[in-house]
Amino acid sequence: MSEQKVKLIRHTPEPEKAVAAAAKLCYSDIGAMELEENLSDEDAGSFIAMLMNMGHMSPIEHAVFTFAIEGVSRALSHQLVRHRIASYSQQSQRYVTEDSFDYVIPPSINESPEALEIFSKALEAIQTAYNELRGILAPEFEKQLIAEGQTEKKAKDNAEKMANEDARFVLPNATETKLVFTMNARELLHFFGQRCCNRAQWEIRSLAEEMVVILKPIAPTIFKNAGPPCLRGACPEGSMSCGKQAQVALRYKMLDERL
């Protein structure tokens, strides 16, 4: 069973100063380099707060953040990559053999002995099927490639990748994956608005909330109100609202206390 891990591995140095200098440049007769030199953290924060209150969000796109995540499912990664204003690098199931794949267990299944038994048996059967498919396919691909003129070593290496490529079709959404992804601050706020919502899928919501905790100390003004829309006003989900705005607010108060 995989444990979700998230780490901020790179980000724009002094992101709020970079954003403030970029924004001030639009109204200044001096350059951004000189503007940044004269900016204090307090000045940068107050200027960004004013911009964001006015709805001027484009300057915060200059702050960029790169995360590494592990112990997440393919179900999560399929949701994550829907956020298109971002860059992604994901562990390949063609080049990495899943001969002993790890997986994510939903809490509802993990807490039910009956459900967990069904889930575990299904994953064991999938692992067996994957390994057997690779065992059948790799030798066949190797013979084919040798017949086409490849050396034995090259044919064997390529056949392994080809076998992985086709055997992976039996792997489940639960399969653990690893990613690196980069988003700018504006897209991150949009991501948090969608994925911190109580109606978001539990796994990606857990990831989003941990990212909020990581980012707030680094860019406190930009991410001051990061989270679901109901923290800032009425729930936009209408009749589909979870109806738990007070509980959500309490959860985010507790997250802030971790900082």
The tens digit of pLDDT for each residue in 227-247 reads 999 999 999 999 999 999 999
Cα–Cα distance measured from residue 31 to residue 75, given in angstroms and rounded to the nearest whole number: 46
- Return the pLDDT at 40: 87
Cα–Cα distance measured from residue 211 to residue 8, given in angstroms and rounded to the nearest whole number: 8
The C-alpha R_g of the chain, in whole angstroms, comes to 23
The tens digit of pLDDT for each residue in 10-53 reads 999 999 999 999 988 887 777 778 778 878 889 899 999 999 99
In this structure, which amino acid lies at residue 47? F
Tokens of 150: 């490849």
- Return the pLDDT at 38: 79
The tens digit of pLDDT for each residue in 77-101 reads 999 999 999 999 999 999 999 999 9
Mean pLDDT to the nearest integer, 102-116: 97
- Could you list the beta-strand ranges (E) of 12-142: 64-73, 86-90
Tokens of 91: 């562990």
> Locate tokens 């829309």: which residue?
229
- Return the pLDDT at 70: 98
Tokens of 56: 């001027």
Catalytic residues: 195
Looking only at the bridges linking them, the beta strands covering 64-73 and 86-90 are unpaired
Other beta carbons less than 10 A from residue 22's beta carbon: 18
pTM of the model: 0.93
- Return the pLDDT at 30: 79
